[in-house]
Amino acid sequence: MNELVKTDDLRSVKFLTNFINAVVDADLKHYASDLYPELELMDEKTFNASLKRAIQVCTTLNIPIHKHFKRVYRTSGNHVFCDYRLSHTAYVLISINGDVGSQKVARIQLELVKKLLT
């Protein structure tokens, strides 16, 4: 029987792993920091709560986290900060799980309800 990847050739396995990671990374098109102005976020605590709920949605539904959320470090001037690269799904999940005291988040939720009802 022919083998696709020989288990004794770790370079091939590493190559395959790198390829898979590159394919997954290609779907991570958004930065979480882009949501701050979009959702009129003022503090990191509010954002982190939204992020945690979005990740919990994926966990509950057995959706692989690594395909939607990737922690990265970015720079701004002399500062290094933690950010996330997000799939479009993760971007929307964070948006709808945001602070409902925000008019933007409330509008997003209402628009989704309207689309579901029509």
Angle at 87 between CA 36 and CA 89, to 5 degrees: 90
**Could you report the per-residue pLDDT of 54-111, keeping only the tens digit for each?**
999 999 999 999 999 999 999 988 999 899 999 999 999 999 998 888 899 999 999 9
Angle at 17 between CA 16 and CA 22, to 5 degrees: 95
**Could you report the per-residue pLDDT of 9-19, keeping only the tens digit for each?**
555 667 777 77
What stretches of the chain adopt beta strand conformation (E)?
30-31, 69-76, 79-86
Task: State which amino acid sits at residue 11.
Answer: R
